[in-house]
């Protein structure tokens, strides 16, 4: 209950003093994002406040969410499937909606769809909570600016604060205990030649949740002590490489950051390893391709699937090494 009250207080600090529906239906879209310098570890679990900043890029994949008022109880439909009230995502979504009910008896109807490829290893919750926040802003007529919307989206899912924007995005960690200075800001440059492909290696449910792996890493891994400085260094290197259009420097920093995150899991107690034999094979293939003159790098989230980064001019070469990879467009800033 204390956690809910803290989240509610954080939400109310940026919302109008009172509100109610101003239209019958609101619809909003938000992109999926991939962290290039990772968000890994929280300084506050309830408010989703990160230990470090992070840096991401938006994909041309998105969630569309429709908000209406329901008659009696909250209704949640995801990709045309109504969710039962005991499903984990329903519970998580309703807890977020509890922050914004104009009256205790107010019920929401939420219909959300996304075009994320099945089992692609891409978390759609970030784009989902961002799209829901944007739709609520229209539904209730809050007229909030992107900074405040990013703050609210973070209360649903930390990474959701980055999905308020397209293009490259920085999530600044902030230092305030109430989280008012922890939000995302759009980056002032774009790289049209940058490309990304997804190599799906497993469709199985992860043996341990990302949230738990993050907690174990931060609490028990000796490598995690080096993590904050590493993220700061990698983020600077990534930003400099984007400005200079230095793709090898960009790729090295992104790949190093992902490996460091996984190193913190591997050295946790108990150890967490998401890699499969196929994951290691894919990493070795990337390194082999680079030795043979193809500039391709990888990043991974908390799972076995691999995301490949390369320039458009090398797409055909990369796909000769990874014929099953799925090229995904990147979404430039709007």
* Rounded distance between C-alpha atoms, residue 15 and residue 145, angstroms: 11
CATH 3.30.230.10 residue ranges of the chain are 2-186
pLDDT higher than 90, residue 203: no
* Lowest-pLDDT range of 36-45, 207-216, 317-326: 207-216
Confidence (pLDDT) at 125:
87
**CATH 3.30.70.890 domain span(s) along the chain:** 194-328
Residue identified by tokens 């799972």 is 303
Fold of 2-186: Ribosomal Protein S5; domain 2 (3.30.230)
The confidence score (pLDDT) of residue 204 equals: 82
Read off the pLDDT band of 122 (50, 70, 90): low
CATH of domain 194-328: 3.30.70.890
Structure tokens, 42: 């929280």
pLDDT of 23 above 50 = yes
pLDDT at residue 105 greater than cutoff 70? yes
Q: Are strands 107-114 and 75-78 parallel, antiparallel or unpaired?
A: parallel
Q: Cα dist. 39→34, 69, 95, 117, 134 in Å?
A: 10, 34, 23, 23, 22
Whole-angstrom distance, CA of residue 290 vs CA of residue 68:
51
Cα–Cα distance measured from residue 76 to residue 73, given in angstroms and rounded to the nearest whole number: 10
Q: What pTM value is reported for the model?
A: 0.95
């Amino acid at each position: 209950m204390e956690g809910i009250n803290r989240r509610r207080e954080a939400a109310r600090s940026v919302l109008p003093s009172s509100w109610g529906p101003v239209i019958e239906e609101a619809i909003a879209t938000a992109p999926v994002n991939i962290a290039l310098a990772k968000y890994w570890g929280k300084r506050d679990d309830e408010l989703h406040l990160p230990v470090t900043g992070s840096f991401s890029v938006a994909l041309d994949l998105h969630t569309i969410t429709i908000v209406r008022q329901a008659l009696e109880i909250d209704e949640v439909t995801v990709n045309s499937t109504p969710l039962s009230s005991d499903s984990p995502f329903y519970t998580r979504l309703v807890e977020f909606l509890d922050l914004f009910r104009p009256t205790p008896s107010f019920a929401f109807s939420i219909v959300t769809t996304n075009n994320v490829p099945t089992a692609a290893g891409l978390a759609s919750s970030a784009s989902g909570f961002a799209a829901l926040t944007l739709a609520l802003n229209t539904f209730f007529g809050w007229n909030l600016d992107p900074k405040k919307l990013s703050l609210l989206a973070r209360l649903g899912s930390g990474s959701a604060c980055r999905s308020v924007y397209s293009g490259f995005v920085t999530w600044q960690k902030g230092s305030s205990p109430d989280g008012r200075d922890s939000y995302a800001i759009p980056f002032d440059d774009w790289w049209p030649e940058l490309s990304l492909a997804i190599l799906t290696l497993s469709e199985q449910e992860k043996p341990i949740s990302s949230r738990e792996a993050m907690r174990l890493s931060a609490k028990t891994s000796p490598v995690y002590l080096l993590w904050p400085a590493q993220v700061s260094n990698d983020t600077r290197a990534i930003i400099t490489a984007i400005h200079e259009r230095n793709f090898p420097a960009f790729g090295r920093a992104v790949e190093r950051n992902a490996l460091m995150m996984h190193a913190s899991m591997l050295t946790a107690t108990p150890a967490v390893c998401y890699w499969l034999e196929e994951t290691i094979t894919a990493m070795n293939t990337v390194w082999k391709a680079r030795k043979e003159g193809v500039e391709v790098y990888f990043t991974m989230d908390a799972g076995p699937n691999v995301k490949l980064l390369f320039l458009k001019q090398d797409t055909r070469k990369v796909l000769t090494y990874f014929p099953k990879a799925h090229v995904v467009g990147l979404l430039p800033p709007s």
